[in-house]
Structure 1
Amino acid sequence: MKKSTYLFLFISLFSLQTAFGQNAAKEEKPVRIVGVAVTGEAEEPVPYATAALVNPEDGTTIAGAVADGEGKFFIAGFGLGTYTLQLSFIGFEPISVRGIEVKTLTGEINLGNIKMEDEGVALEEVTVQGQRDLIEERVDRTIYKAENDKTTAGGDATDVLRRVPMLSVDFDGNVSMRGSSNIQVLIDNRPSAIAASSIADALRQIPADEIKAVEVITSPSARFDAEGTSGVINIVTKKNNLTGMTLNVNSGFGLRGSNLSLNGSARTKKLGFSVGGFGRTGYNINGRFENEQMFTTPDNSLASVLQEADTRRNDLFGRYNFGVDYDIDKYNFLTGAVNFGIRNSNNYQENFFTENYQEGQLINRALRETDVVDESNTVDVSLNYTKTYEKKGKEFSILTLYSRNKRENSFTNILFEDDFQTIDSRLRNDNPSKNEEFTIQLDFVNPMGEDGNSILEYGAKNILRRAFSDFSYLQADGADGEYVENENPALNNDLTYDQNVTAGYASYTFNLLKNYTLKTGLRYEYTMINADFRDETEANIPSYGTLVPSVNASRKLKNGNLIKAAYNRRISRPSLRFINPNIDASNPSQISQGNPLLDPELTDNYELGYSTFFKGLVLNFTGFYRNTTGSIQAVRTVQDDDIIFTTYENIGREQAVGTNMFTSITLGSKLSFNGGFDLYYAMLENGLTDPLLAAENQGWVISGRMFGNYTLPKNWQVQLFTFARGRRVQLQGTSGGFAVYGLSLNKQFAEKRGSIGFGAENFLAKEFIIRNELSTPTIMQSSTSALRNMNFKVNFSYRIGKLSMDDRPRRRRKSINNDDLKEAGGGQGEMNQNR
């Protein structure tokens, strides 16, 4: 199916829904409840607050709506009776308005301004019936309220993202959105060196208890970097505008890992500080793998390799931060932060047997042991200035960020003699690398028109990036021989890779007709690259410019329903995982090498979404089409000595058409469920004509999740979570599916200042098995990985100190959005390699 066909289908569906909405508008308007969500004392609007009309007798939700950008909402679709209104939004305590009497089926019930207090201020003053919402739908994003999910207590961001609609997270913590792992991950609206180095590692370093929400932005506007095939994920940590001092203690221990975090904050009227630390260790992470590959050698003989090994992994992660913000005066303020991250990971392969066959005859059998060390430390330093104006919404900001990531990758391969006892030789590969970035960004927001509903945004950004990779191979005889460095430049060299990205953008948001909102934008990015090697070899990589348009449209329908459509273009620059010339031979039968001459990928995205609310049911549906050209794909060939060699080329085209659906159901005041599924059809091809290299593949990919919560007396809660992902279609084969699940019991005490929980994860199976397949005209490979991840854990948290409201206006803290490189399937990203 051609791209134009999909585009025509989306436009037709959008026009059809609009026609239905216009016909419905001609009918006589039924009774409705209207109101405005505002902050406590300042009475400023609370945009996009969620309103639900509840039956006070059984807690059933009758109807609902989402407020607009001015905090205004209206609810329709209910009958005569007496109801309770529940109003909620991230960062505010949910509030209930009781005794709303509906005596006629026409007219309007105006509740006026409804004041919402900041969270933590009036915990004992507000009584909320029913479950607090976990999902909030906005015009341009879906928000998962992680702070309301107690099943993640004691875990990390990986556990949180597994519960978020439209996201999939595999066993190694690698994140994908709608089947694509090429996404942009931000922490508090800004990039982080830990996320740039490896998204999977970044997630392990962020404690779940410190995550307030996760925002999934599938169609980013021109203000965002053009990186990311699928979109943007913003992890929002817990912040506040309160005065006083507080300290949070969170700890947990389990069969597979333990964690401890301390986070404190202090604030006066103008000056605020925050400091925190988090440590997590993983142990008893054991498993095994088996690999069988058959291929045709260069001399046209049939060869095969069988491999098996026991695996073991130990991890240690840490993240430490210090932040300060200062209000210069009413309209000017500064923010600064320093974040440190550490990562130590050791992966062992023991009893690593390899058998080589030629025409069915065994010709060699070898025993190895492999030790892979992956260590890194990161630092982010940011300083931001923001100026606001008397005119509401007008804002100017200068944002700066310095990031550094130093990484040490190495592996040691020990080969035994035929007796499988005596060490014959040792091979070591050292690959230290470093990535440094300095970014400056200027943004200006100017509301226009008398009502201020039209918004003009424009700005500029520059990223100076330098990556360095040093690699060498060393060989030693026996168990005690000295290592000798290999003189081959292909095995002993270094790469310096300088990149300069300059960008400018403009975006305009305005209301069209009565219920339409249109947001258009245009972004231009110009990239200059200089790469050279220590042996004076130069890689000639031409500069290139990229024009990135974006269009987002939405229409509000009856009963607070919303329909939205979007188009945007994205760019994905290759990271060091793809360009690093270091040869990875940790498995001697399968070696790989990057290609410094790779070009970026370009992706066009189209989507159509619909959200509705009906008697305790929240339903969100999205259809999408994605087309990627110049896709970076692996090219595999068979070399002498029965070795499969892998490198990368811009030879692929990827298409995907599919849907996401999410639903939330409330049954009474104590029981709730939410869940959803992702389904898409993937079509991949590499466009080559050589029959030995040409490849294409297609097929369905599905994944789903479910979360259930039941409230027991005396502040006890039982929660169940499960996530499953089917096999994924790849250009030359498939990767296997898997499932995870968990059950937890939590209790709050000491006026909700403390909590204790007991959890069990994957407790019905001894191990999980994942099967991957690779198929080319000359190579057939089947591999099996098994992971023992049954876990039992105990979690404890307690909050010391008290915060109270100050009289400062609520301000949106801004920071740089920066992460513009293609992520590898293994979670690798920014200018660093992860084995």
Structure 2
Amino acid sequence: MHIKRKGWLLWIIAGWTLQAEAQQTASSYIATGTIRDSATARAVAYATISLFDTADNNIASTYSLENGTFKTALPQQGQYRLEISFVGYKTRELEITIGSTLADLGVLLLAPGNDYLQEVRITSRKRLVDQKPGMLVYNAENDISNKGGTAADVLRKAPVLSVDAQGNVSMRGSSNLKILVNGKYSGQMARSAADALNMMPADMIKSVEIITTPSAKYDAEGAAGVINILTKKGTSDVSGTLEASVSNMEQMLNPRLSLSGAKWNINFAGHLHRLRRKSAEITDRNTLSGTTVTNRLQQSIEKDNAAPHGSADLTVEYIINDASELSLGINAWTGKWPDYRHAGTIVSMPDGSITEQYLQDIASAGNYLGADINLAYNRHFKRAGQQVTLQVQNSPSRDLSDYDAVQTSAGKDLLYREINNSKTQNREWTFQADYVHPLNAKGTFHLETGAKLILRNVGNRYAVSASDPSDVHALAPQPDRSDHFRYSQDVMAGYAMLRLNLQRNWFVESGARLEATYIKGNFVYSGNAFDNRFLNVVPTATLSKKLDESSTFTLSYTKRLTRPYIWDLNPNVNASDPKNIQSGNPELQPEIAHQAELAYGLNTGKAFFLNTSVFWKQTNNAIVEFMETNAEGISFTSKQNLAANRQFGLNLSSTAQLSERWTANGNVNINYFDYNSTALSILRSGWGAEINLNSTYKLPRSFSVQAFGEYDTRQVTLLGTLGRRYYYSLAAKKEIKKARLTVTLAAVNLFTKYVSQADEKQRPTFISSVDNRYYNRAVKLTVNWEFGGAQRQRKELKRIDNNDINVQGKG
């Protein structure tokens, strides 16, 4: 890697940005400060700060931010009364004198009040969906149906997103996403987002940020966008939750514990889960020679697997002093995700005569073990809004993916056997620095800049043994299909971004990110090797206009890319099904996407919220899963750079308070896809839509009921179409407040034995139809018990958007 030689790349953007000069005005006076808990010294977020003049007129009000800081403008110098209040604390009043343009009031302490000591619990009144520049926020903790579910269930109800029956997530029709947890890269998500989401309990999720047009601060990875999952944190001395759930499809236990001291905070969350996954595939494929059918493949596959797995998440935060914090985060996971299949295959000629007929049992193991270990340091400077954050993360993991395929005749005679032993080890380091600098005294003009270094080293050993032609019971090594694949991917990045709050409620954010990527791969036994390097400049821009207190227009643009990972590149051939062979592609290149979006947000408070956006996306050199067949009807599938595609779309997300007891929210996504592949001589286009509705009604005596439904229409793909899909659930909840118990009974697809989804493909050499059947009908009972001190939950409030607002793996 050429880090030293290319180090200048990290700061090329910051260099020109730092030459910019801010035009400052001093039309008002600014008061700043930091609110902290007098007992724990922790920042108090969203405290109300009010200022009164000598005539006791309220002349300014604001709220403290996540880090406890606040800033408010005053019309003139003089004496003022400052009042600070927040649920669970005694209201504090003090007299202040403003004598200069910028007055820093320092650290202001709040003492816990009697309502906190007596454990008075406050119920959050947040909407389910909020809007920020470039993103929508789904407040998952306010949705009762998320009790006893997983992160996949949470994302299924979030705006813009779609989750299929296997847990694979897509945004606006694309699964090339970056999924973060608390703003940090997750090796678990990168390896397999579908598996990782099923290993995260819904109860630990506070909210989900759906970032459709990420700023330059975010990695360029993820052509479709970024999902940031934010988890809950305790705020009392000792608190926790114990949740247990049981159903015919899954059983889980989720403990969560939070401890707080004078200068530290510890949060632990565990997850033990056994998930049943049952499905079937019925394939009918005709091989063509011109317009003539040369053979026909009929295949049925049944799967019924149980996947035991678990994860643990530990975070430790330590307040060094009023300006500095240190945090340690450890997330570890382990599990077994088997894929046992029983298949029946028939190959016939056009006249109906059978040329091949056999049964097959495939035992495929997926054993995972991994962790993300993150250490972060954050320092706030005396100047309000100025801060630096340093992070280092290590993400080791191990993956054992073997299969044993046994092929027999209808009479159970052995015809063929093949074993593929595959072991993957990943060692990954990430180093990151971010800096925020206010460029004027009023805090309306900010520079954000930073650098990042990612070092990935992956090794995959695979060895194949197969039946000897002379004796099918004897296994012979297959040296041409065995090797040791070594792969490294190093990414250096630097970014700079300007954020400016203008007069008349205009907001501008503009930046650029520079990423240099170095890739090397070699095959130890065969001696083959490859390397590649590329440089990407990623510009981003956002322009927002607040029309009034309830409505905002936002126009944004971003450029994104998706890099192939080892699972996409590894040529280890999966021939467990000899009629459907899969492998990676070492020659795969990154795809580049450009996206523009115009959004309108209407927020009338608790009663009604609406976000609507129209978007355009152009993807060049798109990574697509491509299938082709040979004359014998055997299909070969791998990812290829074969097409460009354009996409136009409309997104609608709305939340309404229909009555004091009844709330409803829904999302509608309408997309137009236009595929163009010169290499394949393909031009395809068509419309698709996704819609979901969610409604909750509060009954007397602490009962509530909820209904959710989702429907996806047929989607156009490069080679054909993906059929319609639907999902629905019903839930009833009872809160026993004195015992701090919540009991939830939920049903999923109660009146449907299985959900069928057709996958149609057509090329000059074949016509294929696959009927996928997903058996996910379930009835689930969940009991949730909270213990310990009261949670000082945040109030519903309007926030100043002072912050801008990682790869979908195989599923």
Q: TM-score, normalised by structure 1?
A: 0.81
Name 2:100's counterpart in structure 1.
Answer: none
1:135 aligns with 2:125: no
Counterpart of 1:566 (choices 556, 565, 569) is 556
Write out per-residue CA displacement over residues 97-154 of structure 1, whole angstroms, 9 at most, x where no aligned residue: xxxxxxxxxxxxxxxxxx9999x9599768779x641111122321111111111111
Cα 1:123–1:142 change in 2 (3 A) is: farther
Mapped partners of 2:342, 2:706: distance in 1: 38
Mapped partners of 1:38, 1:331: distance in 2: 10
Name 2:446's counterpart in structure 1.
Answer: 455
Mapped partners of 2:756, 2:112: distance in 1: 48
Counterpart of 2:371 (choices 371, 375, 379) is 379
1:251 aligns with 2:244: yes
Mapped partners of 1:266, 1:358: distance in 2: 71
1:305 aligns with 2:292: no
Mapped partners of 2:148, 2:592: distance in 1: 39
Counterpart of 1:166 (choices 150, 160, 168) is 160
Q: Does the 8 A contact of 1:319 with 1:342 survive in 2?
A: yes
Name 1:296's counterpart in structure 2.
Answer: 288
- The answer to which of 698-707 and 264-273 deviates more is 264-273
Q: Does the 8 A contact of 1:727 with 1:737 survive in 2?
A: yes
Write out per-residue CA displacement over residues 392-411 of structure 1, whole angstroms, 9 at most, x where no aligned residue: 22111110000022111122
Mapped partners of 1:577, 1:795: distance in 2: 36
Mapped partners of 2:117, 2:549: distance in 1: 30
SS at match of 2:228: strand
- 1:781 CA drift (Å): 0.1
Mapped partners of 1:734, 1:711: distance in 2: 41
- 1:594 CA drift (Å): 1.5
Name 1:831's counterpart in structure 2.
Answer: none
SS at match of 2:479: coil
Q: Does the 8 A contact of 2:444 with 2:502 survive in 1?
A: no
After TM superposition, the structure 1 = structure 2 runs for residues 501-580 of structure 1, keeping only pairs within 5 Å, are 501-580=491-570
Write out per-residue CA displacement over residues 499-556 of structure 1, whole angstroms, 9 at most, x where no aligned residue: 1110110011002332110000111001111111023533333311100000011110
Mapped partners of 2:268, 2:122: distance in 1: 32
Name 1:787's counterpart in structure 2.
Answer: 774
Mapped partners of 2:122, 2:153: distance in 1: 29
Write out per-residue CA displacement over residues 688-715 of structure 1, whole angstroms, 9 at most, x where no aligned residue: 2xxxx42232111100111111111111
Mapped partners of 1:123, 1:550: distance in 2: 49
- The answer to which of 154-163 and 612-621 deviates more is 612-621
Mapped partners of 2:169, 2:548: distance in 1: 36
1:362 aligns with 2:349: no
SS at match of 1:542: strand
Q: Does the 8 A contact of 1:298 with 1:639 survive in 2?
A: no
Counterpart of 1:195 (choices 189, 198, 202) is 189
Cα 1:197–1:660 change in 2 (3 A) is: same
Mapped partners of 1:196, 1:48: distance in 2: 37
2:254 partner letter: S
2:373 partner letter: V
1:182 aligns with 2:176: yes
Percent identity at matched positions? Answer: 26
Cα 1:142–1:210 change in 2 (3 A) is: same
Q: Does the 8 A contact of 2:749 with 2:778 survive in 1?
A: yes
Name 1:85's counterpart in structure 2.
Answer: none
- 1:586 CA drift (Å): 2.1
Mapped partners of 1:229, 1:367: distance in 2: 41
1:443 partner letter: D
Name 1:664's counterpart in structure 2.
Answer: 655
Q: Does the 8 A contact of 1:620 with 1:661 survive in 2?
A: yes
Q: Does the 8 A contact of 1:504 with 1:524 survive in 2?
A: yes
Name 1:621's counterpart in structure 2.
Answer: 612
Q: Does the 8 A contact of 1:695 with 1:776 survive in 2?
A: no
Q: Does the 8 A contact of 2:120 with 2:790 survive in 1?
A: no
- The answer to which of 343-352 and 38-47 deviates more is 38-47
After TM superposition, the structure 1 = structure 2 runs for residues 189-268 of structure 1, keeping only pairs within 5 Å, are 189-240=183-234, 242-268=235-261
Q: Does the 8 A contact of 1:37 with 1:116 survive in 2?
A: no
Write out per-residue CA displacement over residues 745-793 of structure 1, whole angstroms, 9 at most, x where no aligned residue: 1111134722111111110111111111001111100011112211001
Mapped partners of 1:116, 1:759: distance in 2: 42
Structure 1: gaps of 5 or more residues: 1-35, 50-65, 74-90, 95-114, 807-816, 829-833
SS at match of 2:198: helix
- 1:579 CA drift (Å): 0.9
Cα 1:770–1:299 change in 2 (3 A) is: closer
Mapped partners of 1:435, 1:598: distance in 2: 20
After TM superposition, the structure 1 = structure 2 runs for residues 3-152 of structure 1, keeping only pairs within 5 Å, are 121=116, 132-152=126-146
Mapped partners of 1:648, 1:200: distance in 2: 19
1:705 aligns with 2:692: yes
Cα 1:127–1:324 change in 2 (3 A) is: closer
SS at match of 2:568: helix
- 1:560 CA drift (Å): 2.2
After TM superposition, the structure 1 = structure 2 runs for residues 763-782 of structure 1, keeping only pairs within 5 Å, are 763-782=750-769
Q: Does the 8 A contact of 2:119 with 2:789 survive in 1?
A: no
Mapped partners of 1:717, 1:597: distance in 2: 54
- 1:422 CA drift (Å): 2.5
- 1:660 CA drift (Å): 0.3
1:738 aligns with 2:728: no
1:753 partner letter: R
Name 1:695's counterpart in structure 2.
Answer: 682
Mapped partners of 1:773, 1:791: distance in 2: 28
- 1:646 CA drift (Å): 2.4
Name 2:147's counterpart in structure 1.
Answer: 153
Name 1:492's counterpart in structure 2.
Answer: 482
- 1:585 CA drift (Å): 1.4
Q: Does the 8 A contact of 1:38 with 1:44 survive in 2?
A: yes
Cα 1:48–1:479 change in 2 (3 A) is: farther
- 1:376 CA drift (Å): 0.8
Mapped partners of 1:565, 1:772: distance in 2: 36
Q: Does the 8 A contact of 1:412 with 1:427 survive in 2?
A: yes
Mapped partners of 1:299, 1:746: distance in 2: 59
Mapped partners of 2:657, 2:134: distance in 1: 25
SS at match of 1:154: coil
Name 2:21's counterpart in structure 1.
Answer: none
Mapped partners of 1:390, 1:654: distance in 2: 49
Backbone CA RMSD of aligned residues? 3.3
Mapped partners of 1:727, 1:117: distance in 2: 56
Q: Does the 8 A contact of 2:37 with 2:111 survive in 1?
A: no
Name 1:97's counterpart in structure 2.
Answer: none
- 1:451 CA drift (Å): 0.8
Cα 1:211–1:434 change in 2 (3 A) is: same
Mapped partners of 2:533, 2:123: distance in 1: 58
Cα 1:37–1:211 change in 2 (3 A) is: farther
Cα 1:117–1:329 change in 2 (3 A) is: closer
SS at match of 1:443: strand
Structure 2: gaps of 5 or more residues: 1-31, 49-61, 73-85, 90-109, 794-803
Mapped partners of 1:155, 1:597: distance in 2: 39
After TM superposition, the structure 1 = structure 2 runs for residues 471-490 of structure 1, keeping only pairs within 5 Å, are 471-476=462-467, 481-488=473-480
Cα 1:719–1:665 change in 2 (3 A) is: same
1:247 partner letter: G
Mapped partners of 2:130, 2:192: distance in 1: 28
SS at match of 1:541: strand
Name 1:812's counterpart in structure 2.
Answer: none
Mapped partners of 1:805, 1:146: distance in 2: 18
1:331 aligns with 2:305: no
Instruction: Name the count of aligned residue pairs.
Output: 718
Name 2:264's counterpart in structure 1.
Answer: 271
2:545 partner letter: R
